[in-house]
Amino acid sequence: MPFLTRVLPSFLVSWLLTFTLASLFHSQYVVNQLVDVGVVVRLSDRINLTLDDWLGLLPTYGAIIAIALAIAFLVTAKLIKKVKQYNVALFIAAGIAALAVVLIAIESIMNIHIIAGARGWGFYMQLLAGAVGGYTFSHLIKTANNPKSEMCEYK
């Protein structure tokens, strides 16, 4: 039962945060490219585009991110048994690696940037989303495994 009560909720929260940030970064990159060529984009349009992108990318990019993070976090969990003191850094690296592999593999296989917001500096923003997801998973899993010791630290 530890998987259902500790690992799965931690994974779902970190995946949702990673996907949401990746989608947000993608949307804003695309909007900024439009603004750079002179298109006027109102705040309401930015918000609507961001929400539409989130819903539109969820079944595809969201699923791809979930699979990539699951593989990366599983490998990292195995590795952490050998090097415990670096668990936060390893999960951050795993999140970055997961998104890097996804984006590079998609571009290599299809020879296109399927995520338009992953071009130029947008690529690094996608990696930042992976890093945040890895950090979040590391923190949540630590809290789930030691709830009493975490509560003492915050008092």
pLDDT digits (tens, 9 = 90+) for 3-12: 667 889 999 9
Q: How far apart are CA 70 and CA 7, in angstroms?
A: 11
Is residue 39 helix, strand or coil?
coil
pLDDT digits (tens, 9 = 90+) for 53-107: 999 999 999 999 999 999 999 999 999 988 878 899 999 999 999 999 999 998 8
CB contact at 8 A, 72 and 113: no
Q: Would you give the distance in Å from CA 122 to the centre of its chain? A: 13
Q: How far apart are CA 9 and CA 27, in angstroms?
A: 27
- Global pTM value: 0.87
pLDDT digits (tens, 9 = 90+) for 106-152: 888 887 777 888 888 999 999 999 999 999 999 999 888 776 654 44
Please give the mean pLDDT across all residues of the chain: 89
Q: How far is CA 70 from CA 44, 90, 94, 104, 111, in A?
A: 35, 14, 10, 18, 25
